[in-house]
Amino acid sequence: MKISKQLMFLAVFLVSTLPTLAEGKPKLTLDEFFNSVDYPAIAISPDGNSVVIATERADWDQQIFRHDLWLYHDDGKAGSLIQLTQSGHDTEPKWSPDGRWIAFLSERKPSSEKDPDSDDDKSKKDKADKADTSQIYVISPTGGEAIPLTQGEEEVHAFSWSADSRTLYFATRNPWTKVQKDEYKKQWKDVVQYRTAERGDTLFALDFAAALASHAAAPAKLPEKDGSEADKDSDLTPGARPLATSPLRIDDLVTSPDGSKLAFVTNSINQRQEKTEDVEIYALDLTRMGAGDSPATAGAKNNPPPTQPRQLTHNHAVEGSLRWANDNRHIFFTVEVGDVTGPYRDLQPHLYWVDSDHPDSEPAPFEQWSKDFPGTVDHFAVAADQVLASARIGTEVPMYSATQPTKPLHKLNGWDGTYAILSAAAHSPRVAFVYSSLQKPPEVYLAENPDQLDQARPITSLNHLFTERDLPQGKPYRWHADDGTTIEGMLIYPPGIDPQAPPKHLPLFTFIHGGPADADGNRFEADWYEWSRLAATNGWLVFEPNYRGSTGYGDKFLEQIVPQIVSRPGKDILEGVDALIKDGIADPDHLTIGGYSYGGYMTNWLITQTTRFKAAVTGAGAVEHVGNWGNDDTTLDDAYFLGGRPWEAPQRYHDEAAIFQIDKVRTPTHMSAGADDIRVAVLEDYLLEHALYSLGIPNALLIFPGEGHSLSKNPWHGKIKVREELNWLQKYGGVP
């Protein structure tokens, strides 16, 4: 076969230009950045052949974040990924143990409420009141319509399958009859009885087959209720049998593998962390439920619960992430804040288990797994003969395994980067997980077994667009604090710059993570809270310091934030900036700073400590601590960080507050806040804005209606926030 000279030339030209074409990837745009897809939950099927995946993505037309479920199925020859639900309101998928159904929570409206609305104002108000109420639905993994199993105005707080897949357990606030609700509205109108009107939860059992049959027999549209006798229990799901009650909210409900017990964590009814005793682990013995085929059918409907849950923990910690061990005796858990061993103090999240079979007369013993591990356990899953954990050490989050509580965590052979949400199959060695790194956007992966993580294959590609863009590269950076402590952070370089051979004197954006118990590292994030890649794409060298109080560096390192909640971390950060300038990396004439939540605290503080920053962008950060202690829904750590409540440590509340040094500020400052934030009340932002305005410092404040601490309601809010923050940095910081 002859090849013409022209074709030969073309082939040589294409081969020679391939590297150039690869290097010529377009840069990431603002619109593309905010079209990223998050994976908040995954669950592998019991046989390991399917993975249900929860996604979150922006819906710009509806001005909401869509929450949908996808299903990956491997038939042994090839895998396929399909969208399983499309309501935009579906979360927390859980497989039935027999693998035939997927249960999930949804805030979708029942089909009976989708028909044309009545013109009656009361009817419209009643329907509006029913919106955004999470109920349990099930769907077959083969597809079809989702089937509602629970109903009423009380949302489901937690749910779990029975071991035989015949019963669904769930918890809601103690339901009221229509008569009770009408009497309350008549007496109190729209007045809010803070605390005094709170009521706890009831734990129910629902016979699954009966619920399916009831749904199949129901008409397409239920008749309007007329206040008859049947309407008195309007918030009760038909067929649901109460098992137990709690004066507190019930969260994180799990069933033992043999089906004999339930375990759950309680929380304060208003979900404010004010007393550690509100958050404890309980167990319920299902074998005492009485005669009958299952807890859902045992006993008469109106009989009181035959037994009450047994409290297993009595400590000063906020427990969560419950999982049963395969011995049906121990319950794994992690701790968000607090300490299980003594008086309240904040430690890194560690992995523990508690013995549910201990005699009632004695406190249930607990044990920390791999106690000598210096980092933090971020996620874990219980496999057949081991526990798998993604655990942070510095800027990396590898996956580890452990077989006994006294054994050290064993690092598995995987990739550098961050392993996140994990799911292990009950009857297969397969494991599913979310993975990302600086230049790899998050996707869901499936490994044949934990020893083959480096051979795992991606089963999603919803963030593929990012791989086609010229993404920033980065590396860790270390410096020494004034007391000799080594501090670490990340440097994220503008696209096209090799971190191993960067140019000198780059414009610097110091971007401070929130928490403070968190850390930046080798992972990919793209949202309104973590936008370092977008800042780097706009020409900034982004410095992400893991100051004292960050996780991944040992409990002692984290505890050194106490009682200097901003001044000690502030020194670490400024000394990091000094080191970058001394090393010739950062341009001292183009320094900017920013952060959100605790990152906002630190930004507000640091602009009172130095005038070197040309621009600041801060969000949801306090400028004083007395009012913030009273408003914050996590007051436990506020008082801990400052050495006491406001009247116990008044001088420290004064000394660690930016507002009392605000007259030193010369930095133009951009602020943002959610109007309904209770973590850091929007009043803190109004206070900062008013102070800067009175001093004549250039400033701007954005308030996002309906948003809390997290801008999770309307995607336009986060996009506008970051757009304006980038504009502010450029206007006053001036990337050359």
Q: Is 438 helix (H, G, I), strand (E, B) or coil?
A: coil
What is d(CA 114, CA 220) in angstroms, rounded to the nearest whole number?
A: 11
pLDDT at 273: 85
Q: Is the pLDDT of residue 229 over 80?
A: no
Determine the Cα angle at 455 with ends 450 and 457, to 5°: 100
The mean pLDDT of the chain is 90
How is residue 59 written in tokens? 């819906």
List 160's β-bridge partners, or say none.
169
**Strand ranges across the sheet with 410-411:** 376-382, 387-392, 399-402, 410-411
pLDDT at 113: 53
Predicted confidence (pLDDT) per residue in 672-714, tens digit: 999 999 999 999 999 999 999 999 999 999 999 999 999 999 9
Residue 77: pLDDT band (50, 70, 90) is confident
* Mean pLDDT within 551-561: 96
Domains of the chain plus CATH, in order, are 150-368 (2.120.10), 471-733 (3.40.50.1820)
* Mean pLDDT within 370-375: 94
Closest by CA to 162, choosing from 280, 324, 54, 303, is 324
Residue 124: pLDDT band (50, 70, 90) is very low
Predicted confidence (pLDDT) per residue in 427-482, tens digit: 999 999 999 999 999 999 999 999 999 999 999 999 999 999 999 999 999 999 99
pTM over 0.75: yes
Output the DSSP codes for 535-549: HHHTTPEEEEEE-TT
* Mean pLDDT within 561-573: 96
Alpha carbons within 13 angstroms on the beta-carbon side of residue 598 total: 23
Which CB contacts under 8 angstroms, 24+ apart, belong to 288-295?
Answer: 289/205, 289/243, 293/166, 294/162, 294/164, 294/166, 294/167, 294/205, 294/207, 295/162, 295/167, 295/169, 295/205, 295/241, 295/243
**Strands (DSSP E) along 312-465, which ranges?**
316-324, 330-339, 351-355, 366-368, 376-382, 387-392, 399-402, 410-411, 418-424, 431-437, 440-447, 457-458
Cβ atoms of 654 and 700 within 8 Å: the answer is no
Percentage of the chain exceeding pLDDT 70? 89
How is residue 319 written in tokens? 């427990």
Predicted confidence (pLDDT) per residue in 571-619, tens digit: 999 999 999 999 999 999 999 999 999 999 999 999 999 999 999 999 9
> How far is Cα of residue 503 from the mean position of the Cα atoms in its chain?
37
Predicted confidence (pLDDT) per residue in 81-110, tens digit: 999 999 999 999 999 999 999 999 999 977
* Mean pLDDT within 262-272: 93
Closest by CA to 653, choosing from 671, 667, 635, is 635
Q: Is the pLDDT of residue 621 over 60?
A: yes
Q: Is the pLDDT of residue 395 over 90?
A: yes
Q: Is the pLDDT of residue 2 over 60?
A: no
